[in-house]
Amino acid sequence: MFTVHKTDGSARLGQIQLAHGVVQTPIFMPVGTVGSVKTLVPQDLHDIKAEIILGNTYHLYLRPGLDVIREFGGLHDFIQWNKPILTDSGGYQIFSLAGQRKIDEKGAHFQSHIDGRKLTLTPELAVEIQETLGSDIHMVLDECTPHPVTYEGAKASMERSMRWALRCREAKTRPELAQFGIVQGSMFEDLRLQSIHALTDIGFEGYAIGGLSVGEPKPDMRRVTAFACAHLPQDKPRYLMGVGTPLDLVESIYAGVDMFDCVMPTRNGRNGTLFTSKGRVNIKNQRHKLEHGPLDEECACYTCKTFSLAYLRHLFMAQEFTALRLLTLHNLTYYLRLIHDIRAAIAEGRMSQLVDHHRQLWDS
């Protein structure tokens, strides 16, 4: 399923064979939580060469619901996307609903944020939902450990997640769909190692690093990521969940990560913060009011090839929906172009130079 073609230090160039096609790695997955990448349509995603998108088990379970998904034969046909899909298990939503949920050995008990219904998400139900969706990669149900947390709290949370991971594996019925385990253990390396050993003993098609980007300092995120990559199997893909900035991607790939998802490019685009070859651009800045040039001269996306920065600013300040689409399109194009640049750097053995460049660009 996963093949590594070349390495440059810990960075890896490879591919994953999935039910709906091949995904080249490293890869960034645009987030389409409820079956849609906000403001875009599938043709936009094809045009910018997205290879795989992410959906969310929790949200799709609540609406449209499994009855609708079954009627359409799975999520792919329902949303008209013929490439791979990864779905999160709902663990992060459980984490974010801290005031509205209770966790015990059975699973997570919570109230729907839509209609207040009382629901229980168990490991077995998480697998059933994702197999009904037909997710090419589906994640085990885990408890995303908050930060900060005591050692004892992190240990208990991690151990529960490992018991849930085993239940998820035992509940899996569709061999053509990949299932990834999720490494937990907060900032404690010995707990992370225990988690890795537990997951690899169970055996999954890939492994995710969870419980990061939840408020911890960046040095801790980098340390835990590198530690996990150093101990995870070499022949399986590694997925860093919910991360992150362009520099996060560069640094984490340098440490050995293969897969990423994050709402940052889409959410920031809708909020007027753009990622460019020269760094961040705030579209609201007054100095862009009369700017004739494009948002990013080095970008070949439809937004940059067609419109002036002044026009994009005008649309955003006028609260036109068109602005949200154009800015989202640019940010996702930037992320996917960055991924292609990283792949080229690994292939040519110059990953360290690319890392240095991006450290200077984003740290400044």
H or E stretch including 236?
none
Residue 104 falls in the annotated catalytic set: no
Q: Out of 8, 44, 258, 261, which one is annotated catalytic?
A: 261
Measured CA to CA, the distance from residue 209 to residue 246 in angstroms comes to 18
Whether 1 and 17 have beta carbons less than 8 Å apart is answered as yes
Render 332-346 in DSSP notation, one character per residue: HHHHHHHHHHHHHHH
Alpha carbon of 115 to those of 70, 93, 109, 167: distances in Å?
A: 22, 16, 15, 29
Measured CA to CA, the distance from residue 299 to residue 265 in angstroms comes to 15
The phi and psi torsions of 105 (rounded to 5 degrees) equal -65, -30
Residue 261 falls in the annotated catalytic set: yes
Q: Out of 44, 88, 136, 248, which one is annotated catalytic?
A: 88
* Pairing outcome for strands 85-88 and 137-139: parallel
DSSP 225: H
Residue positions annotated with a catalytic role: 88, 261
